[in-house]
Structure 1
Amino acid sequence: MCLLALSWQQTTRYPLVLASNRDEFLPRPTRPACFWPEQPNLLGSKDLEAGGSWLLASQQGRWATLTNFRDGRNLSAGNLSRGELVLQAMQQPLTELPKWLEANRHNFAGYNLLWGDNNQAWYFSNRLTEAPRQLEAGLYLLSNATLNTDWPKTRRLKKAVEIWQTTENCHPDQLFATLTDPTPAQDKDLPNTYIGLEKERFLSSIFIKGESYATRTSTLLWQEADGYWHLHEKNHATDKKLGNEHYYKWQSDLSN
């Protein structure tokens, strides 16, 4: 289902900070983060079942990420995998992507998409009637509702990012500690996404632990003022698979 926080142009030291969890069925095959051999400009993990991704960056400073929109009353699967949206966001010209998203609004199950480059950030959900919109500087939260919906898990992640980006000598492990917090929300704070109380409880923690469905990957993407980018990914261990960790650093042209 996924969870993320995007800090956009809030501090001069870190123009962009993106903290993300990917929740997925454990058997779904995935390639860990790397520069894609088939598309060397793309950096991130790949869903090997449908060929897309949930978070990608490029050497030029483009980036894109998504979450699913959860509504038990509307379980339409859509004609295309939502991972295709991240690929399109990385490959389409930024000025053309909003038109493509509008034209293909009904081809996907519910989603939220964030994308941008060194100079701009955008948001779109096919569960809203609004057109894609450009974001002003701010801290944005997404889980499985629309942008900045106040859920317990988004509230806790927001606080962690606020502290991290304003702390001297901050370390990625400080954010990873929040991204791996399995504390569930109290029943009184649970959202109602029409999936039943037990599932709402199960999905309420930042880090989901289940036998067949769980938080599989935590990713941090951040940019420094001098144009250096960092992508740090942790793939979590399961009963049948060891965890692994991947880190990349590169410099983009700030004029892009």
Structure 2
Amino acid sequence: MCTLTLAWQVFPDSPVVVAANRDEALDRPSEPPARIEDDPAVVAPRDAEAGGTWIGYNEHGLFAGITNRWTDAEPAADRSRGLLVREALRDESAEDAARFVERELDERSYDGFNLVVADATAAVLFEWDGRLRVTQFDPGVHVVVNVGADDSFTVPSFRPEVGEQQAENARRLREALQPEPGESSEAWHDRAASALGNHDYGVCIHGDGFGTRSSSLIAIGEGGASYRFADGPPCETDHVRVESQL
């Protein structure tokens, strides 16, 4: 997944609201969101190749989502990043998940990633490129892409033009998705869905063998969680309610 937008502690009804696009090789098999674990219950799509996930939430109100991180370092992973997300979702809180991620990075190797864990009380960004950077998000709208988040970007030397463009896309998307006065999380989700499929923002991509494969709209609040999923690029695929809600 290459674009993850988090509205954290913005809407009173839902402290965790997410709109995200996943970019991936078109021939990599995946399964749509479903209940993939039971203790605790976890709702997430599944990477059918490695068994992990790129986005999801659990019955405790914990969200986790990941993007690749472009880095000049040589890949040295011995484990899928999606398994890190799936296992983080076994925790009860963002704080517990954060401690888990830190322990994992001491013990195993992963390719570069940007990982967000969030619940009603905390939202944490992990940026990993062989070195770890941890950021506690303030309340507001945050956009995470392959080169970083918000206004903090690291563009790799091997793809400078694409990296700079991605950073600019993230800035414009974040500006466009600032909450409007009196706006509900559902109305914001509708605007976010439109932006994620609008090619003017550059976050719905179509390439040779690679592109935006799906899009997720998740809201988590005291009344439970909701998930709408587009099983295809959002420029041409509607977001449909996931039936396996918690």
Bin for the TM-score computed over the shorter chain: 0.7 to 0.9
Contact residue 67 and residue 143 of structure 1 kept, 8 A: yes
SS at the partner of 2:12? coil
Gaps of 5+ in 2: 154-166
| 1:37-116 equivalent positions in 2, closer than 5 A | 41-71=41-71, 73-92=72-91, 94=93, 95-105=95-105, 107-116=109-118
| 1:162-173 equivalent positions in 2, closer than 5 A | 162-163=178-179, 166-167=182-183, 170=187, 172-173=189-190
2:6 maps to which residue? 6
Q: Which has the larger radius of gyration?
A: 1
Contact residue 42 and residue 58 of structure 2 kept, 8 A: yes
TM-score (norm 2): 0.78
SS at the partner of 2:176? helix
Superposition CA RMSD, Å: 3.1
| 1:136-147 equivalent positions in 2, closer than 5 A | 136-147=138-149
Question: Which stretches of structure 1, 4 residues or more, deviate above 6 A after TM superposition?
Answer: 37-40, 249-252
Contact residue 58 and residue 90 of structure 2 kept, 8 A: no
Give the C-alpha shift of residue 61 in structure 1. Answer: 0.9
1:192 maps to which residue? none
SS at the partner of 1:107? coil
TM-score (norm 1): 0.76
In structure 2, C-alpha distance between the alignment counterparts of 1:114 and 1:97, rounded to whole Å: 10
In structure 2, C-alpha distance between the alignment counterparts of 1:102 and 1:87, rounded to whole Å: 15
In structure 1, C-alpha distance between the alignment counterparts of 2:145 and 2:128, rounded to whole Å: 15
Contact residue 8 and residue 17 of structure 1 kept, 8 A: yes
1:248–1:5 distance in 2 versus 1, CA, 3 Å: same
1:167–1:175 distance in 2 versus 1, CA, 3 Å: same
1:116–1:212 distance in 2 versus 1, CA, 3 Å: same
Contact residue 23 and residue 215 of structure 1 kept, 8 A: yes
Does 2:192 match 1:179?
no
Deviation string for 1:16-48 (max 9, x for gaps)? 211100000001000001222777811121000
Letter matched to residue 247 of structure 1: R
2:28 maps to which residue? 28
Contact residue 5 and residue 154 of structure 1 kept, 8 A: no
Deviation string for 1:146-197 (max 9, x for gaps)? 232362221232133324685367264432111012237xxxxxxxxxxxxx
Give the C-alpha shift of residue 54 in structure 1. Answer: 0.5
Deviation string for 1:70-110 (max 9, x for gaps)? 12x22405110110111121114545544443343360000
1:191 maps to which residue? none
Contact residue 35 and residue 244 of structure 2 kept, 8 A: no
2:225 maps to which residue? 229
Does 2:236 match 1:220?
no
Does 2:140 match 1:160?
no
In structure 2, C-alpha distance between the alignment counterparts of 1:120 and 1:7, rounded to whole Å: 12
Contact residue 6 and residue 19 of structure 1 kept, 8 A: yes
Q: Which has the higher strand share?
A: 2
Contact residue 9 and residue 16 of structure 1 kept, 8 A: yes
Gaps of 5+ in 1: 185-204
Contact residue 164 and residue 174 of structure 1 kept, 8 A: no
Contact residue 29 and residue 49 of structure 1 kept, 8 A: yes
SS at the partner of 1:79? coil
Contact residue 179 and residue 188 of structure 2 kept, 8 A: no
